[in-house]
Structure 1
Amino acid sequence: MGKIREYEGKDITILYDVARCYHATECIHGAPAVFKKDARPWVHPDGEDAAKTAQIIQRCPTGALHYRPKDASLNETPQPENVVTVTEDGPLLARGDFEIALSDGTLRETRAAFCRCGASANKPFCDASHIKIGFHDPGPEAANATGSSVSTGIVKFNPARNGPLLASGSLTVRNAAGELAAQLQQTAFCRCGASANKPFCDGSHQGIAFAG
C-alpha cells in the first residue's frame, strides 16, 4: 500500500494514491474547481460542495482517490453488486465490496484497476503501461444467458506470486460494452498478458517467466 497524499479541507479530506492513478480524468472533468490538472497543489478540497466532491471521487475507477467527510452520511458504501469490467486493451476494473491481499497487508476496497498486460510497475494495479506497450485485447464476448443473479458479499482478490489474480467470492464479469460475460464464485484472471483465454489465466505465465 503506497504513500497516500492527503488534502484537508473544511468539510472533506481528499486522499490520493498517485501510484494507482492512470489518469482516467473522471475527477478533472467532474469537479474542475477541486481537481486542477495544471495547478500545484492540484487538489483543492474546498473548491466544491463536499457532497458533490464525494460523488465525483466515487467515479474514480482505479481507487486512487478516496475521501474522509466531516458529514458521515457522505461516507462511501460499496455498490450492491461485485463487478469486474474487462476494458478493451486495458485493465480489469473492479467495483463492489472486496479485499486485496498485498505484500504489506490486506486492503479493503470498493474500486480498483488491476493490470492485465503484465507490464505495470505497480502490480497488481494498473499504471497505464498497457498504452506504452501496445497491449491489445478486446475482452470477452457476451454470455449466452437470459437472466442473472446479483453478485453480493465480499470478494477476495489474491495476486498469486508470479501468477494470476485469484478471485474468490460471488463475482459478475462484464465486457467493455457492459454485457454479461460470466458469473463466478472462483476464478483466475490473467496478469501476464499472454493468456490465449483472456481475461482468464491459461498457465501462460509459466512459459514466459512472468514475475510479479
Structure 2
Amino acid sequence: MVQAKTDMRARARELRLAGKTYDEIVAELGVAKSSVSLWVRDLPKPQKTAKQMHEMREARWAPHRRAQAIKRIETKLEAAHEIGRMTDRELFLIGVGLYWSEGSKSKPHRLYERATFINSDPDMIQVYLAWLALLGVQPDRIQYRVMIHENADVARSEKFWADLVGVDTTALKKTTLKKHNPKTVRKNVGEGYHGCLVVVVLRSADLYRRIEGWWYGIVVGVKATI
C-alpha cells in the first residue's frame, strides 16, 4: 500500500513536470485533488504552451463568436426579405449600375464600345445575365470565356462556369491563363476558386452607348435631388 502510494506520488510529480494541471493529474490517477496538491506543491507552476493558450482563448471566445455568427445570419436574412419581388425597372436600374461598376468602359484614349463584363462572383454573373435577358439580348449574341491562373484546375472551372450559364464547355471561347507568380501569396485558391468569367455581347456598340447614357441619366437624376 505504501509502495503504491509512493509510485502514485512519483507519477503525479512526473505529470506535473510535464505541464499537466491538477485536474488533469486527478483525472489520470484517480486520486483526490488534495493529495495531488500535497505531492506536487513544491514544483514550479507549469507554463502553458502556445497551443494551450490558443485553445484557452478559443474556448473563452467561442460563445461570443457563435452569438455573433447567429446575429450575422439573422441580419442578412432580414435584409434579404426586405427586397421582396423585384420589378423589371428595379432590375433595369440595378443592371446599369452593375455594368458601370464592373463592366469594361470606353476611354477617350481607347475607344472600346462593346459590352464586356468580367466577374468572379457567380451570383453577379447571373444577375447580369438576367439583366441582358430583360434588355432583349438573345443568347446567340453572348460569348463566354474563362480567365484563371494557370496552376488552377482549369477543366473543373470551365465546367463550373459552363454549367452556371447553361452552355456546353465546347461553347466557351479559349480560356485565358494568368501566369503564376511564385512570389505572390494568393488567397483565391482551393476548390472554391473558379477564376473569372468574361461575358461579351456581340454587335453591342449601340447597347454600350445606351448603357453609358442610362448611367449618365441616373447620375443627373440623383444630382437633381440634392
Q: TM-score, normalised by structure 1?
A: 0.21
More helix by share: 2
Higher strand share: 1
Q: Which structure would you say has the larger RCO, counting Cα contacts within 8 Å and 6 or more residues apart?
A: 2
